[in-house]
Amino acid sequence: MRDLTPTGLTQASGIKGGIGESTLRPDGTLKVTGEFAYASDLWHEDMLWGVTLRSPHAHARIRSLGVAEALATPGVHAVLTHADLPAATRYGLEIEDTPVLADGVVRHHGEPVALVAADHPETARRAAAKIHVDYETLPVITDEASATAPGAPVLHPGRTDEHAPHVPHPNIVHRQPIVRGDVSAVKDRADVIVTGEYEVGMQDQAFLGPESGLAVPAEDGGVDLYIATQWLHADLRQIAPVLGLPEDKVRMTLSGVGGAFGGREDLSMQAHACLLALRTGRPVKMVYNRFESFFGHVHRHPAKLRYEHGATRDGDLLYVTARIVLDGGAYASSSPAVVGNAASLAVGPYVVDHVDVEAIALYTNNPPCGAMRGFGAVQACFAYEAQMDKLAAALGMDPVEFRRRNAMAQGAVMPTGQVVDSPAPVAELLRRVKAMPLPPARQWESAGGAADVRALPGGLSNTTHGESVVRGVGYAVGIKNVGFSEGFDDYSTARVRLEAVGGEAVATVHTAMAEVGQGGVTVHAQIARTELGVARVTIHPADTRVGSAGSTSASRQTYVTGGAVKHVCELVREKVLELARARFGTYHPAWATAELLLEDGKVVTDGGEVLATLVDVLEGEAVEAEDEWRHRPTRPFDRRTGQGFGHVQYSFAAHRAVVEVDTELGLVKVVELACAQDVGKALNPLSVTGQIQGGTTQGLGLAVMEEIVVDPVTAKVRNPSFTDYLIPTILDTPAIPVDVLELADDHAPYGLRGVGEAPTLSSTPAVVAAIRQATGLALTRVPVRPEHLTGT
Amino acid sequence: MRVTFTVNGRTQRADDVWEGESLLYVLRERLGLAGSKNACEQGECGSCTVRLDGVPVCACLVAAGQAEGREVETVEGLADRATGELSVVQQAFVDSGAVQCGFCTPGLLVAADDLLRQRPDPSDADIREALSGNLCRCTGYEKILDAVRLAAARTGEAD
Amino acid sequence: MDFLRPAAWEEALAAKAAHPTAVPIAGGTDVMVEINFDHRRPAHLLDLTRIGELHEWDEDGPDIRLGAAVPYARILDELRTPLPGLALAAHTVGSPQIRNRGSVGGNLGAASPAGDSHPPLLAAGAVVEAESVRGTRLIPVEEFYTGVKRNALAPDELIRAVRVRKATGPQQFSKVGTRNAMVIAVCALGIALHPDSRTVRTGIGSAAPTPVRARAAEDFLASVLDEEGLWESGRPIAPSAVRQFAELCSGACNPIDDVRGSARYRRHAVGVMARRTLGWVWQTYTRGEGEARCA
């Protein structure tokens, strides 16, 4: 049996191992030996398996629910429906609109209706199949027209959320206008006007580790939940009321997380497993399979975007108008924040004085959509970068030069009125990415003359030996906010302990940060080494015994939890020096007069004189501190004008894509996807390039293959599997050269800038721009399908 | 039913196996060998790659009963059994930053290990083809390529 | 569910006769997916992996007699010369892991129109050896596919082997998928030149309820090659004839719109693949013939 609580990750580093170095992951060895315990790997004596019965319909009334036959199945220990819920029946990240189990109505395909716990997953599945549900199907809402049509069913009647009084229709979750300058006043000064309508399909996070967790009932009537999530405390805040328990009786520990990308920000099986465990008095494990995973988490909002850009003949942007319609699906999830991002970043990293933007998110009967890497900004970037290319073409200008001419820089004013008060090297990133050497042409041609199909569009499928293959090159740049915005109290908590163990000073860092693969654990150890001058650092397992670390999302963890670790290390350092002064201060005048530092396990003066070892200082005493740390406050956007200091930090990346397109078959091979990104300060350069390459590849996937296909008539998901929801393989992914720029943001710890999301933005439009260049087609929708390229 | 087979050189037995269970389920849930991962259970991701009688396969697509009497090698068998020292490929994955969330890693390691046994000095195209059945969602594969190149180079130096 | 593990072919036939609904499983690449995702719960699984002869192939006159469970990886390694079309198709099946398990017998048993081995079998010419306790039937592969995921097997029959005609001329296979590896065919096409009989054969996958031959295209091309003496001369085929061949291949399709592709695209892509693969095989043929003529 595996220990349910992960071991702390201890790493001693031979080199200094502080920030700025490519130290290796402390969990790397466990992950390559197969010992690292992911949530789906957990096992407990006497445990039961939980399964979920889900709705086959996108919108239906449940006339009746019969569980007797299921409950009578041998090996079945519990069957739960809405009627069995002990306390709160709804939850939600921002708006509590999501039923724990369907309450008489299902609003999307795959909505949870009932739960079964049994002694084997197959027993549970067979029993779930015996639950009799009588559905009366209802008309489905699938888009803006059907959501706001006269007489359209209101999916969430009686809304009381903060956005409800301000939306034009109850099926609109949130609406955010951004109005700056006076578009109508300058319109007639535009020499060139381009308009465009764009569409972004529904992308899935497709993290590889499926939703899973293990709930263990405790003797005190509470429950211990071992779980793969992005934000332990947000889960806790939502789960405890559903269980009818105080938060201190719901103890959560982070298990190994197999990727997240936003898809674990909402609850999946967390409350379900706890409910089953509390009902049966037995530990309950739930593991989704890939089919269920597609129904078990929110997706990236599909979007329809209408843009108009006006520019002078010299190539200066005059105005931008945009209307962005995001499909939030059946429940709100993080739709309001996605709207805020899409609206406030709708213009991109460009200086435009006259802006009129409106973004809305809909309630529909489509699958719920919420957080995915770069949310809101990804959709807008695809559209505004297409517009920039279109404008450049209309002006007869080079697309990169046109962008550079209009690029924002530090001091620029966003359409929200916010002054960008840290480096914004947009033009420089474009210059760098353009300056990289281009990959050689016709790489499929081998010395022997035979074509290497692996280097051609179609790959191993042997569709072309070079026929109709045309190269294209495209550029794009994007802007993403870092951290939670719009006045959210975005803080993190850290607890740091310094003690002497076995003749060595050891720091222990305890946060509730969800390590989902991004490498936060690596960076926290580096920060502790830098601040405390120790070699050995233990990263305590993340749990709810320490305060919230906020979400592992919005590119925020290194900034905010990293900031908290840094801050608390500083507190510990002060305490250590206080202790040291008390113990040794009389022995040397420097204790009183010099600036003291902790380096290499010693207290040293700023002149380098060693005053004491940490082991001597800490003898018999551990020094510990805990505190919250928050970035500078932001402000909500004005509901009518969108003006406000809404974002704490911006991050920028630019891409150049080189593609080869089989123009007759409409198949695409991305040959190279070069990226330049400003990261402020690379705390771990190896992790930084890994984030950039990974984000870039997810953008590639959205460009050419990834889409959850929802039937427009039934609102049912048509491809919930890895057979038909395709993500890039290693043969689809090109070389990704990365050029990292480090221009410090003085407001952020170490000057760092959140890294994770920006590369996901510009990757997609760069690939599509390259395909446009190769084919001459307009291509207004992603993913680009062979049908779009062949007119079929 | 009862299933008996060899895993990483040791005979293992599982009782009360439901006939529809996969080798993957038996390894993970009955033998406590959870290194092989359950990412798709449809042969489309390679996270459960193990060697079955020396051949890399998706353990999720092998019926438990088909493993009867066979030899299975999993990621848990890659490191040195006596010393725990990582194999060359494992160490290269750690050193190259090829591991992020790590869920794809065990399957990739088994596939890469097999590639290097067949071809000690693979070209980039060979590496890509050999690993084309293993999805990774975090890394964009660049550092996985680095890792396999590094493992090949280190093996070459050692020879 | 019962798990039947016959150790010999006769035992397998007896088991299938006793349990006609038993689902044969070899590589498991289709059956296990259905079980894992709760799409299928057969009363019996009939494991064929212990029957050695199903994993063997041998030469049998003009044919390769390919055991039903020979995995694609071995076809790729060992049968590239006699069965070039099938070897090319084998290379596009799933992933390396899948190619180590999946087999032509499995593809035939599942009878999915998207199965990668169907087009080259149709193009090469193949006969399915179906056997039961009642005896052996030899079913031409064209007659084997009877509908979407339906085949000509009787409930008590198992596929013993496939007899595939050895290549006497160049063969090609091409498949469209929306990913560069590990992808199910949106549509696929196989072509084989048979200089010995002066015929051309084709096979099209995923573009009709069953895999199909484009017979009109085959007949048209054969008559062009014949009438213009191209088999002998090795001269290029007139572009207009190539175009017509491609159109006739498209015309043989009866595709549907689904999540993998539109019907229109499938028809279009089959035409493109027909034109290209014909170009490739003809180039190979004329190069080979040219050398022969020079010698």
Q: List, for residues C85-116, the tens digit of each pLDDT value.
A: 999 999 999 999 999 999 999 999 999 999 99
pLDDT cut 90: percent of chain A above it = 95
Same domain, residue pair A749 and A778: yes
Q: A722 pLDDT band (50/70/90 cuts)? A: very high
**Pairwise CB contact (< 8 Å): A120 & B28:** no
User: How distant is the Cα of A663 from the closest Cα of chain C, in angstroms?
Assistant: 11
Helix (H, G, I), strand (E, B) or coil at C115: coil
Residue of B nearest to A49 (CA): B29
Whether ipTM tops 0.95, in short, is yes
To probe the interface with C, which of B57, B73, B115, B127 has the most C CB atoms within 10 Å?
Answer: B57
Q: A592 — phi, psi (to 5°)?
A: -95, -30
Choose the closest CB to B42 out of A519, A721, A733. A721
Q: Give the tens place of pLDDT for each residue, A392-438.
A: 999 999 999 999 999 999 999 999 999 999 999 999 999 999 999 99
Q: Which domains does chain C have, with CATH numbers?
A: 171-294 (3.30.390.50)
Determine the structural domain holding residue A524 and report its residue range: 9-37+491-630
As a three-state string, the secondary structure of C170-187 is CEEEEEECCCCCCCCCCE
d(CA A121, CA A127): 10
Asked if residue A147 is part of any domain, the answer here is no
How close does chain A come to C180, measured CA to CA in Å? 4
Closest residue on chain A to B24 (Cα): A41
Residue C42 vs residues A121, B20, C2, C35, C115: alpha-carbon distances, Å: 17, 9, 9, 9, 22
Q: Which residues of A touch C255 (CB under 8 A)?
A: none
Paired sense of beta strands A596-599 and B55-58, if any: unpaired
Place of tokens 């001269």: C235
Q: What is the pLDDT of residue C292?
A: 37
Residues A470, A575 share a domain: no
Model confidence pLDDT, tens digit, residues A660-703: 999 999 999 999 999 999 999 999 999 999 999 999 999 999 99
Instruction: Give A623-666 pLDDT, tens digit per residue.
Output: 999 999 999 999 999 999 999 999 999 999 999 999 999 999 99
Chain A residue with Cα closest to B141: A730
Q: What is the mean pLDDT of chain C?
A: 96
Mean pLDDT, residues A137-160: 97
Chains B–C, number of C-beta pairs less than 8 Å apart: 90
Q: Which residues of B touch C98 (CB under 8 A)?
A: 43, 58, 61, 133
Run of H or E including A738: strand A738-741
Residue A757 inside a domain? The answer is yes
Kindly determine whether residue B33 and residue A34, on different chains, have CB atoms separated by under 8 Å. Answer: yes
Question: Are A229 and A118 in a shared domain?
Answer: yes
Write the DSSP string, C118-143: HHHHHHH-EEEEEEETTEEEEEEHHH
Nearest chain B alpha carbon to C32: B61
Q: Which chain C residues are closer than 8 Å to B56 by Cβ? A: 96-97, 100
A77 φ/ψ angles, rounded to the nearest 5 degrees:
-110, -20
In this prediction the pTM is 0.97
Q: Chain A 235-274, CB below 8 Å of chain B: which residues?
A: 256-261
The residue among B90, B142, B146 with the most chain A CBs within 10 A of its CB, best to mutate, is B142
Best mutation target among B141, B144, B150 (most A Cβ atoms within 10 Å) is B141
* A600 within a domain of the structure (yes/no): yes
User: Exposed e or buried b for every residue in A485-522, given b needs 16+ CB within 10 A?
Assistant: bbebebbbbbbbbbbbeeeebbbbbbbbbbbbbbbbbb
CATH code for position A733: 3.30.365.10
Backbone angles phi, psi at B108, to 5 degrees: -65, -40
* Confidence at residue A2, expressed as pLDDT on a 0 to 100 scale: 55
Tell me the residue type at C170.
P
Other chains touching C, judged by 3 or more CB pairs under 8 Å: A, B
**Quick one: tokens of A508?**
């222990």
Does residue C288 register a pLDDT over 60?
A: yes
**CATH fold group of domain B88-158:** DNA polymerase; domain 1 (1.10.150)
- A712, exposed or middle or buried, with CB in 10 Å at 0-12, 13-18, 19+? exposed
Q: Which CATH architecture has domain B3-77?
A: Roll (3.10)
Q: Which residues of B touch C182 (CB under 8 A)?
A: 44, 132-133
Is residue A277 pLDDT above 50, yes or no? yes
Please indicate, yes or no, whether residues A90 and A231 belong to a single structural domain of this protein.
yes
The C-alpha of B153 sits at a distance from chain C's nearest C-alpha, in angstroms, of 23
Residue A368's pLDDT band (cuts 50, 70, 90) = very high
pLDDT of A327 strictly over 90: yes
Structural domain includes residue A71? yes
Chain C residues near residue B19 by CB distance under 8 angstroms: 1-3, 45
- Name chain B contacts of A730, Cβ cutoff 8 Å: 127-128, 131-132, 134, 136, 141, 144-145
Across the interface, whether the CB atoms of C91 and A291 are under 8 A apart is answered no
- Rounded to whole angstroms, how far apart are CA atoms C187 and C253? 10
Say which of A120, A454, A516 has its CB closest to residue B128. Answer: A454
- A56-114, pLDDT tens digit by residue? 999 999 999 999 999 999 999 999 999 999 999 999 999 999 999 999 999 999 999 99
Residue A712: the pLDDT is: 96
Six-digit token pair at A328?
A: 């939030």
Number of domains forming the structure of chain A: 3
Residues from chain C contacting residue A461 (CB–CB below 8 Å): 92, 174-177, 180, 183, 185
Chain B residues closer than 8 Å to A31 by CB: 99, 102, 105
A258 and B74 in contact by Cβ < 8 A? no
Per-residue pLDDT band for A12 (boundaries 50, 70, 90) equals low
Q: Are residues A124 and A243 in the same domain?
A: yes
User: Do residue A125 and residue A222 come from a single domain?
Assistant: yes
Angle between helices A377-395 and A758-775 (to 10 degrees): 40
**Residue indicated by tokens 């009084």:** A165
Q: What is the mean pLDDT of residues C52-80?
A: 98
A253 class by beta-carbon count within 10 Å (0-12 exposed, 13-18 middle, 19+ buried): buried
- The sheet carrying C199-205 orders its strands as C171-176, C187-194, C199-205
Q: Are A721 and A580 in the same domain? A: no
A662 with A759, same domain: the answer is yes
Distance from CA of B127 to the nearest CA of A (A): 9
Subunit contact B139:A36, Cβ cutoff 8 A: no
To the nearest 10 degrees (0 to 180), the angle between helices A685-704 and B142-158 is 130
Q: How many helices (H) and strands (E) does chain C have?
A: 12, 13
Instruction: For residues A29 and A58, state if they share a domain.
Output: no
> What strands lie across the sheet with A781-782, from one edge to the other?
A172-180, A354-362, A317-327, A303-311, A192-200, A781-782
**Closest-CA residue in chain C for B69?**
C50
Res B37: pLDDT: 98
CA angle in degrees (0–180, nearest 5) for A663-A669-A675 = 125
Please tell me the distance in Å from C241's CA to the nearest CA on chain B.
36
Residue A695 falls inside a structural domain: yes
Report the DSSP beta bridge partners of residue A197.
A306
What is the distance between the alpha carbons of residues A646 and A347, in angstroms, rounded to a whole number?
A: 15
Tokens of C6: 């016959």
Query: Distance between CA atoms of A422 and A681, rounded to whole angstroms?
Result: 13
**Minimum-distance CB partner of C176 among A460, A463, A721:** A463
Put simply, whether A289 touches B (Cβ < 8 Å) is yes
Rounded-to-integer distance, Cα A696 and Cα A301, Å: 19
B101 and A255 in contact (C-beta within 8 Å)?
no
How far is it, in rounded angstroms, from Cα C86 to Cα C203?
Answer: 11
Strand-pairing partners, residue A782, are A200
Count other Cβ atoms within 10 Å, centred on residue C197: 13
Rounded distance, CA A663 to CA A655, Å?
A: 23
Comparing CA positions, the residue from A218, A216, A221 lying closest to residue A277 is: A216
CA nearest neighbour of A9 among A34, A33, A36, A45? A36
- Looking at chain B, the domain(s) classified CATH 1.10.150.120 span 88-158
Note whether A606 and A479 are same-domain residues. no
Q: Tell me, what DSSP letter sits at residue B77?
A: G
Q: In which residue ranges of chain B is pLDDT below 70? A: none
Confidence of residue A13 (pLDDT cuts 50, 70, 90): low
Q: What is the pLDDT of residues A504-533, one digit of tens each?
A: 999 999 999 999 999 999 999 999 999 999
| Chain C interface with B: residues with Cβ < 8 Å | 1-3, 5, 25, 27-29, 31-33, 35-37, 41, 45, 47, 49, 73, 94-98, 100-101, 181-182
Closest to B38 (Cβ–Cβ): which among A25, A210, A723? A210
Average pLDDT, chain A: 96
Chain A residues closer than 8 Å to C261 by CB: 785-787
Domain of A65, CATH number, reads 3.90.1170.50
Looking at the structure, tell me whether residues A29 and A46 fall in a common domain: no
- Percentage of residues of chain C with pLDDT beyond 90: 97
Question: CATH 3.10.20.30: which residues of chain B?
Answer: 3-77
Does A680 reach chain B within 8 Å, measured CB to CB? Answer: no
Question: Does A666 lie in the same domain as A780?
Answer: yes
